[in-house]
């Protein structure tokens, strides 16, 4: 295993009465023509994650990456093992979308201890335990709380019924997008008497699970007239369940979601879905640029934020060709 000095990137800040406080203690990254880079994907069961992996693969040659890609198949334990294996192989840099907020933290710490700069991409870890600028270089990704809030705001502005009765399909339990998209949506809806969340349950960000959960919840709540799904795959699964139950999504049930996949944009064009707030999976170019800035000695901002658009009936047709 390769071990490098951490001193190169150690910076100090003078705080208060002149006490020296270590502000940063991250592994340095030398500037060179090619890097062995690890990308430890969490799963590949939906178009979003496949597009994300492809974005890294498409970026590899132009960024000088000898890219090692693993697929944890939906298991945080396997993702930990994948990271450990990459550390043992002596990667120069790790890009990691942690499947859940807590279980990956020890692996992040081990990568740092082995002198490997870690960039969290698309998903983050529990900020009470591990922090950008100290335990890993930065988080590159969207504002998931804002995505949930924007989905709620669109729903509140455009729902035409008298009372909105909502089923929420949550993403993977313990993942940062599921936690934050729920928080943003719930906070926006709270206090608006016109809307009530009937039930909120995980569909694990998967189409089949979204359909199964929706089938079950439809039995318990036949009066539902809004579905908020934390991603498009679950929204499409919910649309299938609604149609199988004789409902007409887009007419008697409003479907709001997040991601911007091709199937979701098509569902909007077909009048079955109202809105999807974008969450871009195209992290390859941003990861390359951020890594190069870091290698050049720049201090990277803790959160390299991705700005998201919103897709509705007004612009879905215009954007479907660029969707995945």
Whether the CB-CB separation of 150 and 126 falls below 8 Å is answered with: no
Query: Which is nearer to ligand AHR, 99 or 114 (by Cβ)?
Result: 99
Cα–Cα distances in angstroms (integers) from residue 199 to residues 7, 147, 232, 324, in the given order: 51, 20, 19, 30
Nearest to 99 by CA among 119, 81, 72: 72
Residue (209 or 233) nearer to ligand AHR, CB: 233
Nearer to ligand AHR, 147 or 290 (CB): 147
Burial class (CB in 10 A: 0-12, 13-18, 19+), 248: exposed
C-alpha to C-alpha distance for 291 and 262, rounded to whole angstroms: 30
In the complex, what is the shortest distance from the CB of residue 107 to ligand AHR, in angstroms, rounded to a whole number?
18
Q: Which residues contact 299 (CB under 8 A, 6 or more apart)?
A: 11, 24, 133
Cβ atoms of 125 and 83 closer than 8 Å: no
Least distance between ligand AHR and beta carbon 198 (Å): 23
CB of 170 to ligand AHR, least distance (A): 12
Q: Which is nearer to ligand AHR, 149 or 225 (CB)?
A: 149
- In the bound state with ligand AHR, the residue whose beta carbon lies nearer, of 279 and 290, is 279
**Site residues (vs ligand AHR, CB under 6 A):** 46, 48-49, 122-123, 177, 205, 231, 233, 258-259, 279
Q: C-alpha angle with apex 142: 173 to 60, nearest 5 degrees?
A: 100
Give whichever of 27 and 177 is closer to ligand AHR, judged by the CB atom. Answer: 177
Tell the smallest beta-carbon distance from residue 35 to ligand AHR (Å). 24
Residue 174's H or E segment, with its range, is none
Minimum distance of ligand AHR from residue 122's CB (angstroms): 5
Compute the least distance from the CB of residue 279 to ligand AHR, in Å. 5
**DSSP for residue 298:** P
- CB contact at 8 A, 123 and 97: yes
Instruction: Name the minimum Å distance from CB 76 to ligand AHR.
Output: 14
Count Cβ atoms within 10 A of the Cβ of residue 184 and give its class: 0-12 exposed, 13-18 middle, 19 or more buried: buried
Q: Which is nearer to ligand AHR, 87 or 236 (CB)?
A: 236
Nearest distance from C-beta of residue 18 to ligand AHR, angstroms: 43
In this structure, how many other beta carbons lie within 10 angstroms of the beta carbon of residue 244?
Answer: 12
Q: Which is nearer to ligand AHR, 112 or 123 (CB)?
A: 123
Neighbours of 5 (CB within 10 A): 10
């Amino acid at each position: 295993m390769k071990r490098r000095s951490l001193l190169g990137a150690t910076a100090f800040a003078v705080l208060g009465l002149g006490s020296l406080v270590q502000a940063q203690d991250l592994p340095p990254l030398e500037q060179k023509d090619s890097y062995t880079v690890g990308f430890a994907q969490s799963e590949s069961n939906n178009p979003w994650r496949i597009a994300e992996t492809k974005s890294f693969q498409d970026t590899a040659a132009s960024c000088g990456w000898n890219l090692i890609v693993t697929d944890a198949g939906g298991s945080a334990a396997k993702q930990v093992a994948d990271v450990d294996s990459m550390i043992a192989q002596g990667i120069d840099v790790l890009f990691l979308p942690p499947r859940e907020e807590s279980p990956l933290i020890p692996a992040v710490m081990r990568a740092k201890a082995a002198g490997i700069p870690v960039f969290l991409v698309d998903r983050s870890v529990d900020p009470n335990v591990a922090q950008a600028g100290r335990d890993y270089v930065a988080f590159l990704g969207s504002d998931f709380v804002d995505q949930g809030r924007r989905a709620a705001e669109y729903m509140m502005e455009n729902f035409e019924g008298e009372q909105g009765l909502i089923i929420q399909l949550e993403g993977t339990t313990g993942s940062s997008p599921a936690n934050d998209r729920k928080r943003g949506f719930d906070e926006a809806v709270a206090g608006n008497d016109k809307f009530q969340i009937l039930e909120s349950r995980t569909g694990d960000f998967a189409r089949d699970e979204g359909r199964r959960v929706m089938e079950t919840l439809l039995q318990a709540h036949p009066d539902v007239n809004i579905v908020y799904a934390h991603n498009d795959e679950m929204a499409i699964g919910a649309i299938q369940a609604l149609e199988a139950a004789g409902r007409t999504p887009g007419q008697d049930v409003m479907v709001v979601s997040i991601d911007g996949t091709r199937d979701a944009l098509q569902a909007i064009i077909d009048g079955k879905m109202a809105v999807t707030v974008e969450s871009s999976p195209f992290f390859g170019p941003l990861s390359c640029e951020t890594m190069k800035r870091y290698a050049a000695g720049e201090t990277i901002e803790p959160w390299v934020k991705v700005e998201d658009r919103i897709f509705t009936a007004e612009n879905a047709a215009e954007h479907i060709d660029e969707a995945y």
